Amino acid sequence: MDERIRTSVAGVEAYVVGGAVRDELLGRPVVDVDVATPDPEVAARIYAGLSKGALFPLSERHGAWRVAFPDGTTVDFTPLRGPLEDDLRTRDFTINAIAVPVTGGERIDPLGGIPDLEAARLRAVGDTIFEDDPLRLLRAVRLEDELGFALDEHTERLVRDNAGGVAEPAGERILGEVERLGPQGFRRADELGLLEPLGGSSARLDEVDLADTPGFLLVAVFGENLRKLPISNELRRFAHTLLGASRPPDDSPRELHRFRRATEPWAVSALAYLGATDLYDAVLAARAAEPTTPLLRGEDVLELGIEPGPRVGELLDLVAEERAVGTIATRDDALALVKAHLP
C-alpha cells in the first residue's frame, strides 16, 4: 500500500476497492487505484500534494476526484456515503466488488468476488447493473477479453436482454471500451448483440489480414460508422485512407507507386484491410528502395516559370512516379520531363 494514500485518508474510514484489488489478486500490474472514502476531495488534494500528481475532478455529479501521473497510472478517490457493503453493491461485477482497508487487514468480499476470480467467472452484482450504466455491457466483453474470463449464464442473459442500450453512453466512453478489444472481444460482442446497435460487425474480421496498427480493428469492425465516434484526427486520417484504398491492378512499379502515394504511411495496413497479402513483399521492397531525397523540389519547378499552386505538386508527383518506374534517374532527366509537360 502506498504510504501517501494512508496519509491522505488518515483518521477516516477508507478502502481500496475495484480493479486494483482484483489485479493484485490475479498477479497483474496495478495501473489504476480506486479509494473509497467519505471526503474524496480532501483526500485527493492531500495525495496530489504528496505525490506531485495532476489533480482534477473525475465526476462532479458523483464527487469523485483523480490524481494522474505521466506514466499513465491514476489514483481515484470516490465517495463512501454509507456502509461499505452498500458501496460494493453499486459496482458492476463481483470481481470488482472486493475491498481492502487502507489501514490494512483482511479483504472484504461480501458478494463472493474471490471465488469468482478463482473460477475465472464474470458475474453481475445485481440484475440492474446494465440498466444503471449501459457502458457495462461493453465492459463485460472487455473484461472477458482481457482477463480470459467467461460470463456466468445469468449475467450473459442480462447482457443479451439489455444489448439494445449499448449505444446510450457518451461516445467518448464507448470508444474507451471498444478500442481495448481484440479480435475475439469483437467477435464476442457481436455474438451478444452489442455491435449492431453501434453500427459495427465482426464479419469483416474474417475477410482481412489482421494488422497490429493502432485503430485497424476499429476500422475493420465499424467501417464508415467509425466516424460517428469521437476519434482522434490521426485515427480519422487512418480510417479515411483504409476505407478509400483500392487494390493495385498489378504489381508493376507504376501501380505500386500510385498505391503507396495514396496510402502511405499506412500502405501495408491498407493491403491488410484489402486482403491483398500477396503484395506485401512488393510494397515493402518499393518502400525500402525509395530514395531519401527528391530529384526536384518546389522551388526548382517555380524557377521554370510555373505559378505557385496545385500544378507544382502535380509535376513533382509526376517526377517521383517516373523515377520509381525507372524512366528517369537524374535531376536533368527530371527537369526535361517537367519542361515537356509545360504549356
- Domains of the chain with bracketed CATH: 1-113 (3.30.460.10), 239-286 (no CATH), 298-340 (no CATH)
C-alpha cell at 83: 456502509
User: Given this model, what pLDDT does residue 303 score?
Assistant: 87
Q: Taking the alpha carbons of 46, 47, 49, 55 in that order, is the dihedral positive or negative?
A: negative
Q: How far is CA 147 from the centre of its chain?
A: 17
Q: Which residue has the cell 502511405?
A: 264
Mean of the per-residue pLDDT values of the chain: 94
Torsion of CA 175, 181, 186, 187, to 10 degrees: -170
Q: Is the pLDDT of residue 1 over 70?
A: no
pLDDT tens for residues 129-176? 999 999 999 999 999 999 999 999 999 999 999 999 999 999 999 999
Q: Is the pLDDT assigned to residue 199 strictly greater than 90?
A: yes
| Cα→Cα distances 265→175, 242, 251, 259, 269, Å | 24, 11, 18, 11, 9
Q: Is 220's pLDDT higher than 90?
A: yes
Q: How far is CA 143 from CA 153, 177, 182, 289, in A?
A: 16, 10, 11, 44
In the prediction, which pLDDT does 58 show? 83
DSSP states of 287-330: HHHS-SS-S--HHHHHTTTPPSSHHHHHHHHHHHHHHHHTS--S
pLDDT band (50, 70, 90) for residue 38: very high
What confidence score (pLDDT) does residue 193 get?
A: 97
CB 72 within 8 A of CB 62: no
CB-based contacts of 329, cutoff 8 Å, min separation 6: 323
**Residue 90 grid cell:** 453499486
pLDDT for res 49? 93
Residues 204-220 have a mean pLDDT of: 93
Alpha-carbon distance of 95 to 114, in angstroms, equals: 7
Segment 323-342, tens digit of pLDDT: 999 999 999 999 999 999 88
pLDDT confidence bin for 304, thresholds 50/70/90: confident
Rounded to whole angstroms, how far apart are CA atoms 80 and 88?
Answer: 10
pLDDT surpasses 80 at 289: yes
